[in-house]
Amino acid sequence: MPVVVRPVTRDDADTIAGFAMQLAEQHVGYDPRRFSLIGDRDGMANYYAGRAEAKNAAVLVAEDDGKVIGFAYFEFEPVLYAELAVKVAWLHDIYVDEAARGSGAGKMLLDVAAVKAKRLGAKKMLLSVAAFNVAGKEFFERNGFVTTMHEMMLVFD
């Protein structure tokens, strides 16, 4: 059965929370000075369930043969003053289970997110990718994203 992308449901909350925790742990592994584990599985489940109900956001899941294998979450912002941007869909998260990578689920999540973002009025999609996430950067570039900013950090001891 082919991979399908659909809106998240409350029944998906625990699976999405598990993926979100893996994504957070991945980022902490890249740079624990920059990234923090800020929640637990229950908190993550509540967060994404709430975002799924927001009128300016979407949480999507990729499903293969009835099993959720990934998710994406974006929010539409008409004006982002801090980013000097208007009509932006900010892709906060995208994650595909390691065993399902290469299945096309990531591209499908991006494609469906783009369609939904355009319906909300977005003219562009922005995202951040960790500096050490080479595979992520390559994935986004293959899917048409271009580098427009470099985040920098000064750590206070």
Spatial separation of the C-alpha atoms in residues 59 and 94, rounded to whole Å:
10
pLDDT band of residue 94 (cuts 50, 70, 90) is very high
pLDDT the model gives residue 35: 95
pLDDT band of residue 157 (cuts 50, 70, 90) is confident
pLDDT the model gives residue 39: 84
In percent, the amount of the chain with pLDDT more than 70 equals 99
Q: Which residue has the tokens 């994203």?
A: 145
Q: Is the pLDDT of residue 34 over 90?
A: yes
pLDDT the model gives residue 52: 86
- The CATH class of the 4-142 domain is alpha beta
- Contact indicator for 85, 33 with CB cutoff of 8 Å: no
- Contact indicator for 155, 33 with CB cutoff of 8 Å: yes
* Residue 91, H or E segment: strand 85-96
pLDDT band of residue 103 (cuts 50, 70, 90) is very high
Q: Is the pLDDT of residue 31 over 90?
A: yes
Q: Is the pLDDT of residue 1 over 80?
A: no
Spatial separation of the C-alpha atoms in residues 112 and 148, rounded to whole Å:
23
pLDDT the model gives residue 137: 96
pLDDT band of residue 128 (cuts 50, 70, 90) is very high
Q: Is the pLDDT of residue 108 over 80?
A: yes
Whole-angstrom distance between the N-terminal and C-terminal Cα of the chain? 52
Task: Share the mean pLDDT of the chain.
Answer: 95
pLDDT the model gives residue 87: 98
